[in-house]
Amino acid sequence: MKIGSGEMRGRRLHAPRGERTRPTSGRLKKSLFDVLAGRLPEARVLDLYAGSGALAFEAFSRGAAEAVVVERNRKACDSIRRNASELRLEERVEVLAMDVSSAVSKLRHRGDRFDVIFADPPYRSSEAEDLLVQLGDGRLFAEGGLLVLEHHHKRELRDRYGSLSRLRVLKAGESTLTLFGPE
């Protein structure tokens, strides 16, 4: 995988061998980061179900200040740490090797807030809806914060989950990015 744009453009990211990941398509990622362009400079980013951490590293390439990356697969976490080190970002990346629900609870308890939250839960699970319900209280969002949820195009999502409202939908192939923000 490569970083597509920004100051780190073309840098190759490591991913664990043999792991089945579903990276965001290049076309969809480009559309997303075009939409996010004004939000990323100095942003605090949370990358849930991070895989290789590609979305967090792309956000860094476009000016993000720091990121918390959540991934329960230990090999993937090792790859994220290696990528952060090679990109000289290790002081700005916190890797949480745990399940997303536990990480969200931990971050809430610490009082963390984020400008952009990326989430790419497994397509064939109910985790997308569970996460939307969990984030619906808005406590992890900085003012004007945004959730970017990647999901299968056939997954039906409501317009509202607690304080989160659907703002925009981006589609490419079988993947959809739905953007939510707290009111």
Domains and CATH numbers, the chain: 6-11+25-182 (3.40.50.150)
pLDDT of residue 9: 55
Burial of 118-153, coded b for 16+ CB within 10 Å and e otherwise, reads: bbbbebeeebbbebbebbbeebbbeeebbbbbbbee
pLDDT of residue 29: 84
pLDDT of residue 19: 46
Q: Phi, psi at residue 96, to the nearest 5°? A: -110, 110
Question: Global pTM?
Answer: 0.88
pLDDT of residue 147: 98
Q: Strand, helix or coil at 54?
A: helix
Q: What is the chain's pLDDT, residue by residue, as a tens digit (183 residues)?
A: 545 555 555 556 556 655 455 466 678 888 899 999 999 999 999 999 999 899 999 999 999 999 999 999 999 999 999 999 999 999 999 999 999 999 999 999 999 999 999 999 998 888 999 999 999 999 999 999 999 999 999 998 999 999 999 999 998 888 899 999 998
CA distance 182 to 164: 4
pLDDT of residue 30: 87
